[in-house]
Amino acid sequence: MKLYSTNLKADEVSFETALITGLAPDKGLYMPKDLPHFSEEELSSLKDEPYPEIAFRLLSRILEGEIDEASLKEITYDAYDYDVPLEEVDENTYIMRLDRGPTASFKDFAARMMARLMQFYLKKENKNLTILTATSGDTGSAVAHAFYDLDNIKVIVLFPETEVSERQRKQMTTLDGNISAIAMDGKFDDCQALVKQAFADPDLKHLNLSSANSINIGRLIPQSIYYFYAYLKLREFPEEIIYSIPSGNFGNMMGCVLAKRMGVPIKKILASVNENDEVPVFFNTGEYSKIEPSKNCISNAMNVGHPSNLARLVTIYGGEMDETGHITKMPDMDVLNNDIFSTSVTDEETTAIVKEFYEDYGIFIEPHGAVGIKGLLDYRAASNDDTLAVTLETAHPAKFPKEVMSAIGVDPEPPQTLKDVESREEFMESMGADYEQFKNYLKEKLD
């Protein structure tokens, strides 16, 4: 696999280099130059296989030549030791619950695979690494747990102090050891900007910094797998499928775009956002403008005013966008809008969906999953398209007890993984959104 930078000013690299370095030296995001296309016969042969076997077989093609099959199989089966339920709502609607991993979030799918792949390459080269990751909620906890106790990797997580739930925070701050958590006085976009600036700072090059955010291609490739999985379990070729994806930094949606490129018959990708509506506005008008500061919504992990992965999407559809959001070449908006539908969902609509699904179906939904469901309802209302759809539940409802309680008056029972963090001691530092302060912190901690 060869990967190029979305800014088109850096050399092509291997998957190992893209995974370990995270961001390209020209500040662009790495993208695969070529991806395998899976035939109907290849995919049909996987229909009855469990998730880890499907992941192994697909990744062995995608990463062919990058890692030996025996190591990849061991890594894959170790990473995916939990269920991936597909819950029927009605004959044309399913919820894919991606909340059964150790941190009860879809981020576990990418973080656990990524940590194990990084460990594989670092051990081979006898190297150490420091992961910097910005999070609006679930990424930080998934990354922290995935990398916890690895002896050659340190992790530093930055999160907006007032915009994560208590359980999200405790999943990041109760580990200690090789995990450091920083509560930032700012927004997710501030955290993400500091991380990107650190990667590009020549004064910090000797620290061997990398990322576990969705700016790292090592996050997106594993996330493409569950779109294959749901299709194989619910459809027969050449039947089409629709995916509705609650979106913030747009990494999850980009995984779906990659799956479509690799042969999954996806009729439409629905990218549903909260009140940070810069992407649907861009799709509808062709004009892109960041939201600064981002709006604080109850679907807090999606409070993103400038999604990093938009640059990847623009590139795939023939355009060019730099890391600041400046578009130097427009993508083919007709093709993009034919493939992807994006809509914005208010907090009031989000709460109403949480209530409706509990009262009508007895199904617990948290705010992010509710945004995905509302996006599907909006699309169906606009298109009269009743193609079978899978909407993603990206976190366990118990991660957002206040929001769920306010909607339905019932406190969802947390899984044991969430119960375990309640009484643990927290370890974290506080910091303003100031780069020089952050840079000095990194030097003191890592030099």
| pTM recorded for the entire structure | 0.92
**Among 3-7, 21-25, 87-91, 317-321, which stretch is predicted with the lowest mean pLDDT?**
21-25
Give 329-353 pLDDT, tens digit per residue: 999 999 999 999 999 999 999 999 9
Distance CA 144, CA 376 (A): 32
pLDDT at res. 176: 87
Quote the pLDDT of residue 418: 86
Q: CA 239 → CA 51, 52, 182, 230, 269, distances in Å?
A: 21, 24, 47, 13, 15
302 within domain boundaries: yes
pLDDT tens, 323-333?
Answer: 999 999 999 99
Residue 93 covered by a domain: no
Per the domain annotation, does 294 fall within a domain?
Answer: yes
Q: Are residues 191 and 239 in the same domain?
A: no
Q: Is residue 431 helix, strand or coil? A: strand
Mark whether 390 and 408 lie in a shared domain. Answer: yes
The residues pairing with 87 across neighbouring beta strands, listed in sequence order, are 95
Q: Do residue 237 and residue 360 come from a single domain?
A: yes
pLDDT of residue 421: 87
Domain count of the fold of the chain: 2
Residue 350 lies in a domain: yes
Residues 126 and 206 in one domain: yes
Question: Does a structural domain hold residue 357?
Answer: yes
**Residue 95's pLDDT is what?**
98
Residue 78 inside a domain? The answer is: no
pLDDT for the residue numbered 433: 94
Range of the domain at 124: 108-212+420-446
Per-residue pLDDT of 154-167, as tens digits, reads: 999 999 999 888 88
Q: What does the pLDDT look like over 359-394, one tens digit per residue?
A: 999 999 999 999 999 999 999 999 999 999 999 999
User: pLDDT value at position 165?
Assistant: 85
146-198 per-position pLDDT tens digit: 999 988 899 999 999 998 888 889 999 999 899 999 999 999 899 989 998 99
Q: Within this chain, do residues 136 and 272 fall inside the same structural domain, yes or no?
A: no
| Beta-bridge partners for 247 | none
194: exposed, middle or buried (Cβ count in 10 Å: 0-12, 13-18, 19+): buried
Mean pLDDT, the chain, whole residue set: 95
| pLDDT tens figures, 262-293 | 999 999 999 999 999 999 999 999 999 999 99
Quick one: pLDDT band at residue 213, thresholds 50, 70, 90? confident
Check pLDDT > 80 for residue 137: no
Terminal-to-terminal C-alpha distance of the chain: 33
Q: What is the CATH number of the domain that holds 207?
A: 3.40.50.1100
Contacts of 218 (CB under 8 A, 6+ apart): 18, 19, 110, 113, 114, 117, 118, 212
- Residue 28 has φ and ψ, to the nearest 5°, of -85, 175
**Is 51 within the bounds of a domain?**
no
> How far does CA 326 lie from the centroid of its chain?
23
In tens, the pLDDT along 224-262 reads: 999 999 999 999 999 999 999 999 999 999 999 999 999
Q: Does residue 390 share a domain with residue 439?
A: no
